[in-house]
Structure 1
Amino acid sequence: MPNTDLPKAGKSKQAKPKTDMPNGMQQPDMQKVDALVGRLVGDLGASVSGVLVVLGDHLGLFRAMMDGRPRSSMELAETTGLTERNVREWLAAMAASDYITWHEASNKFAMTPEQALVFANEESPAFFGGAFEIVQSMWMDEPKVEEAFRTGRGLGWHEHSTCLFRGTERFFRPGYNSHLVTEWIPALKGMKEKLESGAEVADVGCGHGASTILMAQAFPKSHFHGFDYHGPSIERAKRAAKEAGVADRVTFSKASAKDFPAGDYDLVAMFDCLHDMGDPVGAGRHIRETMKKDGTWMIVEPFAHDGLKDNLNPVGRVYYGASTMICTPASMAQEVGLGLGAQAGEMKLRKVALDAGYHHFRRASETPFNMIFEVRN
C-alpha cells in the first residue's frame, strides 16, 4: 500500500519532502494523492470481489443461499459439496463486500432478499452475475487487446474467451425480460399490433437468442429469424429455442449484418450490437433491402449522451471500459472499421441511419442502460 503520510515538522527547519518528478511537472498535492489512493483501495476491492462473484456463481454458492436462511461455513459446504475451508474464506470476503450478511452472534451467513435478487436470481431484472463474466473475459483477453492497440488490426468478437458470449447473454437478458415486450415494442408505432396479428421479424446479431426467444414467446402468431456471424452462439441459440418450446416459430442461422437473407420483414431488430459492427451504415443499407416498405428497424444501444462530459458517470465508466476492451476492437477488426464505440450517443447513431438512406429516426424509449430507436424509410 503506498505510504503518502508526510513527516511531522520538528523543531529544526526541514525542506518539504518532494517526490521525484520529471522536469517541468508540478509537485503533487499529497492530500489529493491520499484521496486518490483511498478511491483506488475501493476499486481494487471491487476488482477482487468481482472474481469471487464469478466463483460463487459458478459453484452455486449464491443459489444455495437464496432462501435467506443463515448458514455456517460447514453447513454451506455440505449443501454444495465443497471444501469447508475454502467456503469459509469466500464467505468472509463476500461479507466484507456487503454482498452477503454475517450474523455475529451465531457466526452464520445469509443473503438478504435484495442480495439474493442481484446475485442468485437469474431471472430478476437486477441480476449481475453475467456482468461479472463479461469483466472476466476482459481480464483474460487483455493480452489480445494489448496487441490490437499496437497493431490497429482490432480484435474480432469471435476471438474473445467463451465467458464473454455467455456473460453477454446473461447480462442483457434481465433487461430484455423487463422492458422489451412491455415497453420497447409498444413504443414503436403500430408494431405491437403487427406482431399480435402475425409478422416476420429478423433479430440481427442475436447472440445466444435471448431477445429472439423472448419475442417469440410473447407473440405466438409471428415468426422470428435470428442471425449472428458467430457459429457457436447460433448453435447455443438453437438449443435454447428448443428448451423454450418455440423452435417451430424461430429459426437461427449463421449470417452477418450485411448478408443475412431478405425476408420481407416487418421488423428488423438489433440489440446492443450496432456499435460493434465495422460498417454499420452498410448494415443499415442491407436492412432496407430486406424489409417491407412500411417495415421498422429497431435499434437498441447502450445509453449515452452525445458529449464526453455528460458520459463521465458510473454507467459511462462501465460502458467506456467495455468499449475499450471489446466493442471498439471488434469494429476495427472488420471492413471499414468505423469504431462507433459503446458510447456513440444519439447524434452519431442518427447519422448512421441517415447515411444508410432512412428518413425517419426517433428515440422511442430509454432506460438508464439503453436507448431504443425507431428507424423507418
Structure 2
Amino acid sequence: MDIFKQLNKKNSAHRYCDEAPHEFAERMMMTVNASAVALGLSVGVETGLFKIITSLKEPKTSVEIADLAGLKERYVREWLAAMVVARVVDVDATNDTYSIPKERAPFLSEGPLNVVAFTKLVPMLCEGYDNVLACFRKDGPSGVPYSKYKRFHQFMDYMSNRMHTATLIPEVVPSVPGLSQILDTGVEALDIGCGSGRAVLLLAQRYPRSIFYGVDISDEAITHAKSEAKRLKLTNCNFLVHDATQLPKRWSDNFDFVMAFDCIHDMARPKSVLSEIHRVLSPGGTFAMLEINVHSHPSRNIGNPRATDGYVISLMHCMPVSLYFEEGEGLGTMWGKEHIMKSLEDEGFGDVTAKPSKDTFNLIFVSKKKSDS
C-alpha cells in the first residue's frame, strides 16, 4: 500500500468551491483541531511513546506505559487522553488500558509508511513564529536567520536519514541514466547543501572507487558529517563549510556528477548557485536535484496533499531564511516544476527531464552540462 499515492488520489478530487458557509466554518474548526493534534503527534514521536505503544503485546495502563518509556505518568496520561479523543490511541475504559490497533501501527512507527515523523516539523517551525510575524510589517526585518531555528539541523538530519536510507541507492541513483556505472568506475561527485552528509556517506560506502565532496554553510552540520565519516572509516568523502555561490576556482569542469537534494529553494541566491554548479560540472557531466512535486502557480496546486504544508513551510522557514541574506531572492519551497525547468535551461543546462519519485511527492530533475559549454 502506497499511502502517499492514496493521498494524491483522494485530494485531487477535493474542491471547496460549492461549500456552504456552515461547511466552511466546520472545515476551519477541523483544521484548528488538526493543528492541535499535530503537536500531540510530535510529542509522541519525540518521546518515543508511539514506539512503545505500537510494540505492546497487550494493552497497558498509563502507569505501565510511563514506566516503559521512562517518563512522568501524569504527562503521559494527559497525552494519552489527547490521542484517544483524536482517535489515534484506543482506550479500554473499564480497565483504563491503552493500545494502538495493529492496522494503525505502520503509520505511527519507524518504517516506510511512517507519516507522523513529519510532525516533528511543527515545533521546528514554531521556533521562528514571532520572527516571521515581524517580517510582515513594512518596517520589519527582511528575513529570519537560521540561528532562530535551533531544531532545524536535527530535524533535517532525521528526515534526510529516513529519505536517503530508503530511496537514494535503490531509487534515486537508478533514475539518473548511467550514474551507477560511472560511480562504480570511479569519478568525483559533489553534493550541494549536503547538511549532515547523509547522502554522501551512503554513496561513499556503496561506491568506494568514487570520491565524494559535500558542501554546506553550516559549521554544525559539517562537523557532524566529518564525525560520521570518521566513525565509518571512510576515506573517499570530504566535507567543507562553503558558500555554494562561490565554489573553489580549482573545481571548474571537475565533477562528473553534482547533486542537490531539497535545498536550492532555500538558497539566498539560487541563480548564482545553479551557475556555479554548471561551472564545476565537467563537460557532459550530470546534475540531479530533488524538489517538491508541485506547480509554480497556486491555482494548479489545489488538491495536492503537499501543497498546504509546502506553502506554510515556505512561509515559516524557507522563504524568510533566504530573504535574511542581502539580495536574498526568497524563492520559497513552492517554486514549482515550471520555474525549475526554466531556471535550469537559463543557466545553460541541457537535456532537462523531471521524473516523479516513487511516492510522487518529489520530482527528480536530471540535466546535463553540454559538452561544448
TM-score range, shorter chain: 0.7 to 0.9
Instruction: Map residues 257-276 of structure 1 onto 2, 5 A cutoff.
Output: 257-261=244-248, 263=251, 264-276=254-266
User: What are the ranges of 5 or more consecutive residues in structure 2 without an aligned counterpart?
Assistant: 1-18
Paired letter, 2:354? R
Of 315, 319, 324, the match for 1:328: 319
Which position in structure 2 is the counterpart of 1:295? 285
Instruction: Map residues 70-85 of structure 1 onto 2, 5 A cutoff.
Output: 70-85=59-74
Instruction: Report the secondary structure of 1:221's partner residue.
Output: coil
Whole-Å Cα distance in 1 between the matches of residues 256 and 54 of structure 2?
42
Of 211, 226, 250, the match for 2:237: 250
Offset from partner CA, 1:114-154 (integer Å, 9 cap, x none): 54433331xx2233454222221222211111222223612
The TM-score with structure 2 as length reference comes to: 0.84
The TM-score with structure 1 as length reference comes to: 0.83
Instruction: Map residues 1-377 of structure 1 onto 2, 5 A cutoff.
Output: 32-69=20-57, 70-104=59-93, 106-121=95-110, 124-128=111-115, 130-150=117-137, 151=140, 153-156=142-145, 158-243=146-231, 245=232, 247-261=234-248, 263=251, 264-313=254-303, 314-366=305-357, 367-377=359-369
Offset from partner CA, 1:5-43 (integer Å, 9 cap, x none): xxxxxxxxxxxxxxxxxxxxxxxxxx9443233222322
User: What are the ranges of 5 or more consecutive residues in structure 1 without an aligned counterpart?
Assistant: 1-30
> RMSD across aligned C-alpha pairs, in angstroms?
2.2
Paired letter, 2:279? E
Change (3 A) 1:112 1:339: same
Change (3 A) 1:336 1:362: farther
Q: Give 1:373 deviation, angstroms.
A: 0.6
Whole-Å Cα distance in 2 between the matches of residues 113 and 259 of structure 1?
51
Whole-Å Cα distance in 2 between the matches of residues 277 and 214 of structure 1?
24
More displaced, 218-227 or 127-136? 127-136
Q: Which has the higher contact order (CA 8 A, sep 6+)?
A: 2
Whole-Å Cα distance in 2 between the matches of residues 159 and 115 of structure 1?
37
Please tell me whether the aligned partners of residues 89 and 99 of structure 2 are also in contact (alpha carbons under 8 angstroms): yes
Change (3 A) 1:198 1:136: same
Whole-Å Cα distance in 2 between the matches of residues 132 and 161 of structure 1?
16
Bigger Rg, structure 1 or 2: 1
Q: Give 1:113 deviation, angstroms.
A: 4.1
Paired letter, 2:238? T
Which position in structure 1 is the counterpart of 2:13? none
Paired letter, 2:274? G
Whole-Å Cα distance in 1 between the matches of residues 135 and 235 of structure 2?
42
Q: Give 1:219 deviation, angstroms.
A: 2.3
Q: Give 1:335 deviation, angstroms.
A: 4.4
The count of aligned residue pairs is 343
